[in-house]
């Protein structure tokens, strides 16, 4: 009976449960090694075959390999590469590697055996070694096997586009832990992730990444053969995986200049660069742009992209309000050098920057309270005094949230403005309200805006309404168009949208003889009533539509209960009578308008 400090079977279990999000991120570890080795071409090769199961056949992934034309490894380097926590780039602060966990960790997480061939003087002179979980568990394999010269299996040479003078082949011989069971699903799911993680390398033609699948009965003819295209969450690159009409030209535009925040760490200063982008107007126009292919693509890329050494670590959606459909039209990127790994809390599998991630999706005061401080400023001051490495990240958090909120306000105003095209419709609220107002005018009811409507020239009225709409955040071109349409149609009412700190749900201002009703988009009544109903007009999911209508009905009832409580809290006497009379007067006007 042995009494090992850590039994081998537990080591194996820990190796396998290494926390990769999915196989695509495990494959990315191998691609990291290839790029670090200077590879200009990296190939993901999958072999699938049929197996018989309960009187039927099904296709299953049999083997998976990554081959590159990088610099290759000698005997010592190959042994270190297969050793957990070792590797050739542990002190390298310039590349995308460094942690020494990639090859063994990722491989064992997806299967029981990994084999590696590497060569520096032609593929015919390749060195070979391996790791096998079964042999590790039984104690048969206690050290990385000494590399030996062994020919590369002919099947990989048939499938690969290139075997250069130098290179490496990593083969997962038994990928039985891979969540995707066919070569098709592996490539389909990996392509989008790999295209995003390495978008800068692909876009700048520093590295090509080929993905090919083969049936084991015909290895010379691929059933899938494609090259990864950039998948850019900022949508500033050309020729990307974004669907038409934005596959060749960028869908977004850069918003402002990149912001640089300097972080001092270990007596040196390092730049952190934050970039922002916003969808072009044509991407957001038309009926339900979010439901079209390019809109769905943008929804899958929702979040803040965290970039380290030109390679994405994470696309963190917690920074974005996922409930708001306009959030998909914003791009945010944080780029930092490997020298700040400890500051950002980079994990050894390069899937997250944990210290920055801990600041996502949490309000400033809540963050202060979480750490035992009375205010956000107290937290900042304390962390600065303690030289806490997380303190510089608060400036990153502030920049992300300030710019995100500004862009959300702008997009909300523009998006809501674009949905007002039916104001000229005879059945539109604006048209019906105007008709009801004309009847009240005929009855001798006079409003403060009526004199301006009859005395001011139409051009001046249009300009005044347009200015009021621009002040709410609407694009000038759309504001001019809406103002002109309001005047030409003889409308008395026009709606605007603005994010204000005021407590009111809406405001009313006479503009050019019309009444500009500005809805406060930051008011809960807007989010739980107006926005839901406006968005439901484009919704095709019946169940979601039902939920939206139920929530909107609840919002309306809560709005009425808020008035009831307001009336109930009014002081006895004239104040309460005035509130009640206001409700009754408004009710009489509402009856006329709604009928």
* Overall pTM surpassing 0.85 (yes/no): no
How buried is residue 9: exposed, middle or buried, by Cβ count under 10 Å (0-12/13-18/19+)? Answer: middle
549 token code pair: 């209508």
The SS3 of residue 575 is helix
3-state secondary structure 420-480: CHHHHCCCCHHHHHHHHHHHHHHCCCCCCCHHHHHHCCHHHHHHHHHHHHHHCCCCHHHHH
Contact call for residues 280 and 475 (beta carbons, < 8 A): no
d(CA 66, CA 212): 10
pLDDT for res 93:
47
d(CA 537, CA 533): 7
Q: For 146-173, how does the pLDDT look when each residue is reduced to its tens digit (9 = 90+)?
A: 999 999 999 999 999 989 899 999 999 9
Q: How far apart are the first and last CA of the chain?
A: 89
d(CA 379, CA 381): 6
d(CA 67, CA 40): 11
pLDDT for res 439:
92
Report the sign of the C-alpha dihedral through residues 415, 417, 422, 427, in that order: positive
Alpha carbon of residue 28 to chain centroid: 19
pLDDT for res 587:
86
Instruction: Name residues of the chain where pLDDT drops below 50.
Output: 89-91, 93, 98-100
Q: Give the contacts of 438 (CB within 8 A, at least 6 positions apart).
A: 492
Please, which residues bridge with residue 58 across strands? 51
pLDDT for res 502:
73
Instruction: Look at the block and give the residue holding tokens 């490495």.
Output: 389
Contact call for residues 511 and 468 (beta carbons, < 8 A): yes
Instruction: List Cα–Cα distances, 60 to 8, 180, 211, 215, in angstroms.
Output: 30, 9, 17, 10
d(CA 242, CA 455): 53
Report helix angle 391-418 to 376-385, nearest 10. 150
pLDDT for res 420:
54
Domain 8-227 bears CATH identifier 3.30.565.10: yes
Ranges for all domains in the chain classified under CATH 3.30.565.10: 8-227
Closest CA to 339 of 308, 314, 312: 308
């Amino acid at each position: 009976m042995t009494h090992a400090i850590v039994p081998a079977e537990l080591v194996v279990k820990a190796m396998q449960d290494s926390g990769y999000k999915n196989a695509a991120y495990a494959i990315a570890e191998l691609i990291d090694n290839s790029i670090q080795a200077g590879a200009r071409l990296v190939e993901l090769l999958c072999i699938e075959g049929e197996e018989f199961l309960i009187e039927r056949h099904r296709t299953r992934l049999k083997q998976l390999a990554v081959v590159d034309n990088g610099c290759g490894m000698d005997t010592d380097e190959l042994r270190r590469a297969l050793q957990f926590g070792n590797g050739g780039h542990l002190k390298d602060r310039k590349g995308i590697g460094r942690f020494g966990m990639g090859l063994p960790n990722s491989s064992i997480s997806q299967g029981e055996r990994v084999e590696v061939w590497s060569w520096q003087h032609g593929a015919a002179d390749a060195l070979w070694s391996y790791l096998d979980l079964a042999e590790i568990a039984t104690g048969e394999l206690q050290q990385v096997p000494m590399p030996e010269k062994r020919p590369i299996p002919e099947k990989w040479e048939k499938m690969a586009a290139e075997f250069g003078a130098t290179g490496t082949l990593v083969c997962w011989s038994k990928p039985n832990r891979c969540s995707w069971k066919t070569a098709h699903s592996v490539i389909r799911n990996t392509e989008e992730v790999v295209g995003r993680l390495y978008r800068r390398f692909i876009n700048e033609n520093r590295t090509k990444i080929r993905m090919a699948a083969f049936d084991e009965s015909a290895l010379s003819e691929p059933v899938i053969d494609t090259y990864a295209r950039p998948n850019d969450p900022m949508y500033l690159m050309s020729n990307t995986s974004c669907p038409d009409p934005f596959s060749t030209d960028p869908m977004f535009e850069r918003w402002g200049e990149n912001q640089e925040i300097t972080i001092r760490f270990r007596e040196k200063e390092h730049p952190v660069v934050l970039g922002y982008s916003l969808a072009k107007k044509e991407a957001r126009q038309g009926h339900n742009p979010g439901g079209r292919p390019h809109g769905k693509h943008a929804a899958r890329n929702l979040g803040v992209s965290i970039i380290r050494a030109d390679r994405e670590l994470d696309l963190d959606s917690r920074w974005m309000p996922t409930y708001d459909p306009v959030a998909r039209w914003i791009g945010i990127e944080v780029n930092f050098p490997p020298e700040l790994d400890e500051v950002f809390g980079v994990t050894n599998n390069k899937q997250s920057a944990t210290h920055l991630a801990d600041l996502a999706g949490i309000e400033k005061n809540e963050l202060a309270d979480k750490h035992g401080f009375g205010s956000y400023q107290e937290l900042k001051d304390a962390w600065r005094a303690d030289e806490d490495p997380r303190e510089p990240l608060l400036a990153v958090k502030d920049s992300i949230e300030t710019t995100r909120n500004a862009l959300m306000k702008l997009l909300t105003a523009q998006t809501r403005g674009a949905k007002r095209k039916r104001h000229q419709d005879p059945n539109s609220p604006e048209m019906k309200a105007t008709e009801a107002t004309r009847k009240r005018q005929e009855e001798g009811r006079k409003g403060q805006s009526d004199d301006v409507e009859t005395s001011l020239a139409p051009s001046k009225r249009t300009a005044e309404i347009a200015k009021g709409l621009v002040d709410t955040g609407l694009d000038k071109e759309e504001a001019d168009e809406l103002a002109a349409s309001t005047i030409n149609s003889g409308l008395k009412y026009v709606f605007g949208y603005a994010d204000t700190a005021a407590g009111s749900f809406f405001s009313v201002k006479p503009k050019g003889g019309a009444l500009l009703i500005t809805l406060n988009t930051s008011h809960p009544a807007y989010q739980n009533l107006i926005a839901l109903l406006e968005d439901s007009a484009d919704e095709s999911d019946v169940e979601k539509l039902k939920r939206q209508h139920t929530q909107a009905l609840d919002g309306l009832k809560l709005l009425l209960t808020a008035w009831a409580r307001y009336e109930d809290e009014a002081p006895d006497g004239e104040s309460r009578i005035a509130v009640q009379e206001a409700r009754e007067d408004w009710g009489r006007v509402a009856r006329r308008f709604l009928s």
